[in-house]
A and B are shown apart, each in its own frame.
Chain A
Amino acid sequence: MILSDSAKLQISQTAKRYPKVRSAILPALHIAYEEHGYLSDQIYEEIAQILDLKLIEVAEAASFYTMFPKAKRGKYLIQVCRNISCALLGSHHLTAYLLDKLNVELGEITADGLFTVVEAECLGSCTTAPMMQVNAHYYENLTVEKVDRLIEEFRSQK
C-alpha cells in the first residue's frame, strides 16, 4: 500500500461529492500525487479499489492529463514557461542557467533530490513574463538574481 490511511479517507470522502463515482478520479489523482509526489500503476490500482472502479478507468484518465507526474522527481518541480511572451523575454536563457546552476539535465532529479527542471507550455501569466511555476506557486518577472534567491530559499527550507 502506497497511500496513507488519511489519503484514502480523503479520497472516499471526496467521492461522495459527485453523483457519479467516476468523476472523483481526477480529485483522487490529485490527492494521491500531492501525498506521494508522483503517480504509478500501484496508485491507480489503489484508487480503483477505493472508488470501486475498474483499474483501466483510472489509468486512462491519469494518462490523458500530461501534467500529472508519472515518475519520481525532485521535491521542487520547476516548470519554466517557454511560450511566446516568456521566450521573447529570455526564458530559454533562464532554463539554461537553472540547469547549469543545479548541474542537471531537463527532467532529471538533482543529486540532493530537491529539484527537477522541466519546460512548460503557456502557464497563462504572460503579463509577468518570464515566469516559472514551482510546485503549486508562480514566480514571476524573473531575473537571474531572483532565480538565485529562490533556489537559496528552497534549499534552506529543504
Chain B
Amino acid sequence: MSDFNITVNGRQVPVIKGQTVLQASLAAGIDIPVFCWHPQLVPVGACRICLVEIEKLPKLQVACATIASEGMIVHTDSPKTIKVRQGVLEFILAHHPLDCPTCDKGGECDLQNLTFKYGLDYSRQHEPKHRVIVDANSTFDDLQIGPEIIRNQNRCIHCYRCTRIVDEIAFEDDLGAYQRSYHTEILPPPGREIRNLYSGNIVEYCPVGALTNDDWRYKVRVWLTKQTSVICPHCPDGCNMKLWNFHNKLFRATSRANENIDNGFICDIGRYGYQYVASPDRIKRPMVRRSGELVETSWEEALSLIRKQTDDIKSKLSGSGFFGFIGDIRTNEEIYAFQRLLRRVIGSNNIDHRFHRRRRLTPGEEVSSRGIESDNAEFKDIENADVIVVLGSDLHSENPITSLRVKRAVKRHNAKVILLNPLPTPLGKRAATLEVIYKQGTAAVLLHGLIDAVVDLERFDPSAIKLSAAEISDFRKANAAYAGVRGSEITGVDVTLVARVAEILAAAQNVFILAGSYVERDPLRDSLHLAVANLQSFCKSARKIFLPPDSNSVGAAFFGAEPTVLPGRQSWGKKAIYEDLWHGPIPDAPGKDTIGILEAIDEDEIECGLVFNADPVRLFPDGEYVRSVMEKLKLLVVIDSFMTDTARLADVILPLSTFAEIEGTRVNWEKRMQYSQRAIPPLHESKPGCEIIELLADRLGVKFNQSKPSDVYQEMARFFPTGAPTTYAAIGRDGFLIRSAETNKPGKLAYLRFVAPAIDTEYRFILLVGNADHHRGTLTERNEILMKFTGEPFVGISEADATDLAVSDGDLVKVESKYGRVVGKAMILRDFPSKRVLLPENFGEMSTNILMGRQDKIDMIKLAKM
C-alpha cells in the first residue's frame, strides 16, 4: 500500500504518496496535536500547534500542510518542538479569557487539554486581554448568531473550522470570518443568521467553547454524562450518532464519525431530533376508551380488554378480520416480531408499512418496492461517480447526508450534478451543474427523451454499452413520441437543456442515479422505475438507488411487513419454512395491502386493527376517508409514543418507547444493517416494541419468549446471507451490507406508454408535497429546537400565479381539491414553476393528505385568495 517511508521520532512510518506528515504520523499511531486540522477539511495551517521539526529544513513546519516526501526525518517530540508548542499555546492564550469554570466546553476542550499537556505556568501578556464586547455588563459576551447557536468570540482561537465546514462541506454561505488578526470575528453575513441544515456541526467541531448551542449550554458537565451509540431514526441515510445522557436524561446528540456514511457530519434534524423523546406530549400510560373518552389505565387492564375483544372478533371473522400497520421508523426486530404476531398468532397476512406519502399501490409492486430494488451501492460510490443524477428528490431536505456526499464529489473531483425535479430544490443553487424542472407526472417521458438525445450525439459510443444495435434502434423507434420537441411539449423542458444533460451523460464514465420521493409519488411510478433502468442501460457504467421514504423502510420491506412477501423477501411458496420456525400455521392466502385493508374495513370484512407507530389518518391519501374507515373498526389498538390523528380514534392505546429507549437494528438505503444501542430506560410506563409484541402474543395464546430484541435478532439472522453476524456483538461499528447476487443488472429495455392526464378546467394546479426547512416527515414537529428554524406552514406558489391571483407573501389562500381543502399563508417562491403548489407535509395543522384522492394518479387542486 505505502509508497515510501519517512522517519518520525526514529520510527519508520509508511506513507502513501500525497499524504501529509500529519496524516502519515497519525496513521502510524504517532500523536501530533491539532486545532485547525480536521480529517475532512482542506488543511490551512492556521493554528500552528502542529509544528514539527524536520531535519534539513531551517524552520519548524506545520505537519498538517507539509506533504511527506521520501527520506524526511521528522521529530514530533523533540525539546525544540515542545518549546514551540508551548509558545504557540502562550500566544493563543494571550487573549483567551480562561473562563473555563463557566465554559460549556470544559472537559472536552482541545485548548484545555493541550494546555494541560504542554502549557506553561506563566504568561508574558501583562496588558489587558482583547475583548469583543457584546454585553458590557457580562464578561460572557454571548452573541446569538442563529436560532440555536451562540458565539463567544473571546474564546475563539481562529482555527476557521466553523467557516470551513460551512463552506467546504455544506456548501452554505451563512458564516464567515470578518476583520483580521485578533480583531477577527465569526459572524453570519450582514442581516442574516446561521441557520443552514448542517449548522450544528460547527458547535461539535469548535475546538474551544467559542460556539455553543442552547441544546447543551449550562445543563450538564460533560464528564458526568454517559454516551451510547445509536442510529439516527429520521431518514434512511442511517447516520451514526452518540447520545449523551446523565441520570437517564438525554442532553445532546453528536456524530459518531463513520466514514462509510456520514464522515462525522450530521444534520440538525438528527442532532436536535432526539428531543421528541422527552416531549411532554408523550403517551405516558396505557389508555382505553370508556364512554367515548380515552382514559388512562393499567397495562393489565388494557391487555385483558384486547384479549376479550379480539376473541369476539376472531370467533366471528377468524384471522382475516384483523390487520396490522407498522411504521417504517421502527427497528427490524419490532417489524419482524410484529408481522409474526399478525401471521402466526392472530392468523392474518393483512400487514403493510406502505401508507406514507403514497397513493394506491400498483400491481407488481410487491416484488419491487421501497428501495429494496436499488442496486448494490454505497455512499462511497457517490463520491467516485463523475456524474450524479438526482431524480425527483429534494435530496437536501430528505437525505441531508447523502446530499453532503454529492457535494463532496463536486469538491473533490468536480463531479457534475444533474437535478431532474418537478420543482427547484435547495441543492440546485448549491451544487447543481444543471437543474431541470419537469412537469410532475412526466419524468418517465423526460428520461426517454434524454436517452434519445444521448443516442443522437456524435460522441455516443454504442460499443461502450451492453445493448445491441437492433435493441437500440427498436427502442428509438418506440420512443419517437417522447424524443426531441415532442417530448419537450409533454415535459415542459426545453430541448436544448435536454441536449446539454445528454452531453454530460454521454461523456460520463461512472454515473450515480439517486431517485427520491417524487419518483415514488409519480403517477407513473412503475414506468418511471423502468425508465431509470433504461437510462442505466444507456450509460457506460451506472448505479441506481431508489431512496426509501423512511429510516427503516428497507428493513420493513425485508423483514416481512408486506402482505405478500415473507421475511427475507421469501416468496409465498416458502411458507412451510416459517410454519416450522414458528411452530404453527400461517394463513394460506397472501394478505391485503393498505388500500385493500381500508376497503375491507369499509365492507365490514375487517373489524380489528393493530397500528404500530403509524399514522395513516394523517399520511395516507384521502385522510377523511381513512378516518371514516378507521372509525368503523370494532377494535383499534394503537401502539405509539404520541397522540397521533390515528391514535385519537383508538379503543386501546399502548405507550411505546422511542428509538433512544430501545435497542435494535435498522437498514439504511445502502442496505447496510446497523445496530443501535439503548441510551436510556423506557420513559413513563412505555415499553419497547418487542416487549409489547411478546405481551400481546402471550395474551393471545402463543409464547415466543422473545421479549428482548437480541432474541428476535437471532431468529431473524437466519434470513441473512451466510457469514452475516448472528449476534449484536458481532455486528460491529460498520454494520454489514445485505447483498443479493442479482442486482446491478438493468435487464431488458422497457417501453413506455404515456397517456396525458385529462385536463380538468376547474382544478388546474398540480399539488406537490415537500418538506419545510429543518423538517423531515412529521416527527420533527414535536421538537422545540427544530421548530425555532421551521416557521409556519405555508402554501408555496410561483411569482406568476401570485400576480395572476393578486396574492402577496403572507396572504391567506385556499387550496381546494375534490376531496378537501386547506387554508394557509401564501409564500411566493422564486423560480418556482407556475400552475403548481407546494405544501409542506410536516405540519399537523395543515394536513396535505386530505387533498389527495385514493384512486387519482395526480393531485389536482384549485387555488384562490381568501
- Which of A's residues lie within 8 Å of B, judged by CB? 41, 44-45, 54-57, 59-60, 63-64, 66
Contacts and interface: CB of A to CB of B under 8 A. Distances in A.
Contacts of B191: 41
A63 B178 contact: yes
A54 B177 contact: no
Contacts of A45: 190
Interface string B633-658: 00000000000000000000000000
A64 B178 CA distance: 6
Nearest to A55: B189
A63 B176 CA distance: 11
B190 A44 contact: yes
B178 A55 contact: no
A56 B179 contact: no
B190 A59 contact: yes
Nearest to B180: A64
A54 B170 CA distance: 14
Q: How large is the interface on B (under 10, 10 to 19, 20 to 34, 35 or more residues)?
A: 10 to 19
A57 B188 CA distance: 11
9 contacts: A41-B190, A41-B191, A45-B190, A55-B173, A56-B188, A57-B173, A59-B176, A59-B189, A66-B179
Contacts of B177: 60
A138 B756 CA distance: 75
A39 to B, nearest CB: 11
B193 to A, nearest CB: 13
B165 interface: no
Nearest to A45: B190
A64 B180 CA distance: 5
Nearest to A53: B173
Contacts of A60: 176-178
Interface of A is mostly: helix
B174 interface: yes
B436 interface: no
A65 B496 CA distance: 44
A44 B175 CA distance: 15
A64 B190 CA distance: 15
Contact of A54 (B173, B178, B180): B173
A55 B176 CA distance: 10
Contacts of B174: 56
Contacts of B173: 54-57
A151 B290 CA distance: 93
Interface in B160-178: 173-178
Contacts of B180: 64, 66
Contacts of B178: 59-60, 63-64
A109 B190 CA distance: 25
A56 B214 CA distance: 25
Contacts of A56: 173-176, 188-189
A45 B189 CA distance: 10
Best-buried of B173, B174, B179, B189 by chain A (most CB within 10 Å): B189
A56 B518 CA distance: 33
B179 to A, nearest CB: 5
A63 to B, nearest CB: 4
Contact of B179 (A44, A55, A57, A64): A64
Given A54-B173, A59-B176, A66-B180, 14 more contacts: A41-B191, A55-B189, A55-B190, A56-B173, A57-B173, A57-B176, A59-B178, A59-B190, A60-B176, A60-B177, A60-B178, A63-B178, A63-B179, A64-B178
- Closest 4 A/B residue pairs (Cβ): A41-B190, A63-B178, A54-B173, A56-B176
B151 to A, nearest CB: 15
B215 to A, nearest CB: 25
Contacts of B190: 41, 44-45, 55, 59
A64 B174 CA distance: 17
A98 B179 CA distance: 29
A146 B190 CA distance: 42
Contacts of A59: 176, 178, 189-190
Contacts of A63: 178-179
Nearest to B183: A66
